[in-house]
Chains A and B, each alone.
Chain A
């Protein structure tokens, strides 16, 4: 065995050499921080280092779950995920179905290109536009005031609208882009199926119901399972850019809370503990969903 390994090392020495930079980088930037997670169970002091800091057991986890922040951040994370899923998941499918029915190739191509456009605007710029448009004297406030006579207000500092703003702007940015995968699935449906449906006397509506929808169903199921598996992994960029203490109540999620406590307030151990809990729950969810998916659809991640 060892002999064979030595032969293998000699024969593939250049190929293995090529893997060395990646291995070294991963050890430094991924595996060392992984070990440093132990500070979640310690009271980390920069002067004492990871080794020297005293153990505190599960103290930080108890602190988090004993505080009002646990309920608030977990609730916000779950709600933002759930609403994004309910509203954000079906829309790319609908868009793809509509694009698929357009019989003027040029029109279809133009609409598609236009629908990808928001995806290429950077997150910071999208948030900058939102901030201007949603300001007290901004576009939205003025329009709502003119049309419905509602009092002017700064929508971004109203906690009631924060989640809606985050989710709606996310959908605006990604619906076109996310429709690509469904369009690909649609274009791989066998055209003969449509022909035989036509011979059977099916109109366009019934072709959609009996050929198109079953054709993309596998893609829909796989993506749905993946989305459910990452329900606790909310994208924090936009929230970090747009939230204020006025909107923490509805907008503060686990990821933003970790950033605020860990980096701004330097409560390193405490936020590492919350981060660890978050990662583990995500991992567990992914495993469960993957197992479920393997059993029911035969599709899985690994």
Chain B
């Protein structure tokens, strides 16, 4: 009798647990669909027949009809091409510059016996909590002639105090014995940094570089207020003109193919071309991020540990 109750209890508990498992897996499945669906709709619609898409207007689960002219137009769009090229340039220059500054100043501040270490740290950290704000910065960059010069996107972002502190913390965790041996052999600080510390900073560097690169990829506000010529715009600023401001010149971007010009007169086809723009500018990142995610996660945890 007692035994029977025990078994019954156990079975009930396990049934409850199975229900819990199933419920959680089901909720997570639905959530995954919610994360994926918006982009799926965009992808599917971008290759569908514009007239069917317009008539249906609701959810489209699979392509309705088929055309890839929307993509041909995107790849012909000289604005998209120049936007991509500019983004790559700004990303490489900005990330490289910021990383170099982070590396050398992180090293400088990691020296435990340097007397100016504390004042330097305060000098840097102060800017994290207090700053001039949008307008004084805007006026200054205007005054020193950086307006409409792409360096306006690079120079003010050279110092990233947060990254410098993470770099400093990492460098301080490297055992002193390594550099001491090199000092005895007559090495100076420069060779210590580049020959000993730098090779040991691969993982932290990857994380910091990745985060800076992403912030350059996403940048649209500063190009909008500081760059006046459209041919200097990075991809996100071009996309803003196309997707948010409905700039049809940006959308067509010097189209010459007469058939495409005729197609673009159709309002719903224009929407599909917008979708194609979204896909072309987003899918490269989405293909790459699953392979890099462990670095992103590491970076996020490093950042939060400091905070």
Q: List chain A positions with a Cβ less than 8 A from chain B.
A: 4-5, 8-9, 12, 14-16, 18-19, 21-23, 25-26, 28-37, 39, 46, 95, 98-99, 101-104, 107, 110-111, 113-118, 120-125, 127-129, 131-133, 137-139, 142-143, 146, 172, 176-177, 180-181, 184, 203-205, 226, 237, 240-242, 258-259, 262-263, 268, 271-272, 275-276, 278-279, 283, 286, 301-302
Contact B274 A262 (CB under 8 A): no
B124–A142 contact, CB under 8 A?
Answer: no
Question: Does the CB pair A5–B115 fall under 8 Å?
Answer: yes
B56 to chain A: closest residue by CB: A142
By a CB distance below 8 angstroms, the chain B residues around A16 are: 108, 114, 116
| Contact between chains at B220 and A124 (CB < 8 Å) | yes
A-B contact count (CB 8 A): 251
Chain B proximity of A251: nearest CB distance (Å): 14
- Would you give the 0/1 interface string for B43-62, flagging 1 where the beta carbon is closer than 8 Å to chain A? 00000000000100111000
Among B32, B58, B123, contact of A23 (Cβ-Cβ < 8 Å): B123
Contact B132 A30 (CB under 8 A): yes
Q: Is the CB of A259 within 8 A of B36?
A: no
Residue on B nearest A181 in the bound complex, by CB: B304
Q: Of A18, A104, A138, which contacts B104 at CB under 8 A?
A: A18
Q: Are B35 and A117 in contact (CB under 8 A)?
A: yes
- Smallest distance from the beta carbon of B146 to chain A beta carbons, Å? 10
Among the stretches B18-26, B72-80, B256-264, the one at the interface with A is: B18-26
List which B211-259 residues lie within 8 A (CB) of chain A: 214, 217-218, 220-221, 225, 236, 239-240, 242-244
> A15 and B111 in contact (CB under 8 A), knowing A107-B25, A180-B301?
yes
Q: Nearest chain-B residue to A108 (Cβ)? A: B28
Partner of A102, one of B24, B101, B130, B290: B24
Given known contacts A117-B39, A122-B239, A128-B244, what 15 new A-B pairs fall within 8 Å (CB)? A12-B113, A16-B114, A18-B104, A33-B131, A33-B132, A36-B136, A36-B139, A46-B139, A102-B21, A103-B21, A115-B31, A129-B38, A137-B57, A263-B138, A275-B134
**Which residues of chain B have a CB within 8 Å of any CB of chain A?**
13, 16-17, 20-21, 24-25, 27-29, 31-32, 34-36, 38-39, 41-42, 54, 57-59, 101, 104-105, 107-109, 111, 113-116, 120, 123-125, 127, 129-140, 144, 155-156, 158-159, 164, 188-190, 193, 214, 217-218, 220-221, 225, 236, 239-240, 242-244, 271, 274-275, 278, 281-282, 285-286, 289-290, 293, 296-297, 300-301, 304, 307
Residue of A nearest to B190 (CB): A14
B155 in contact with A98 (CB, 8 Å): no
A124-B116 in contact (CB<8A)? no
Residues of B within 8 A of A205 (CB): 16, 20
- Provided the pairs A124-B239, A181-B300 are in contact, do residues A283 and B307 lie with their beta carbons within 8 angstroms? no
Can you list 16 pairs linking A and B with CB atoms under 8 Å apart?
A14-B189, A14-B190, A25-B101, A26-B127, A26-B159, A29-B159, A37-B136, A98-B27, A116-B296, A122-B220, A123-B220, A137-B54, A184-B301, A262-B138, A268-B135, A272-B133
The interface residues of chain B, by DSSP majority, are classed as helix
Residues from chain A with a CB closer than 8 A to the CB of B164 are 22
Measured between beta carbons, the chain A residues less than 8 angstroms from B189 are: 12, 14-15, 18
A22-B105, A29-B155, A129-B38 as given contacts; A95 in contact with B136, CB under 8 Å: no
Tell me which residues across on chain A come within 8 A of B217, comparing CB atoms.
122
- Bound CA–CA A46/B158 (angstroms): 27
- Tell me, rounded to whole Å, the shortest Cβ–Cβ distance linking A213 to chain B: 16
Contact between chains at B156 and A29 (CB < 8 Å): yes
The 5 closest A-B CB pairs, nearest first, are A33-B132, A128-B243, A275-B133, A14-B189, A36-B136
List A contacts of B301 (CB < 8 A): 180-181, 184
Choose among B111, B136, B293 the residue with the greatest number of A CB atoms under 10 Å from its CB: B136
Question: How far apart are the CA atoms of A28 and B132 in the complex, in Å?
Answer: 11
**Contact (Cβ within 8 A) B159 A22:** yes
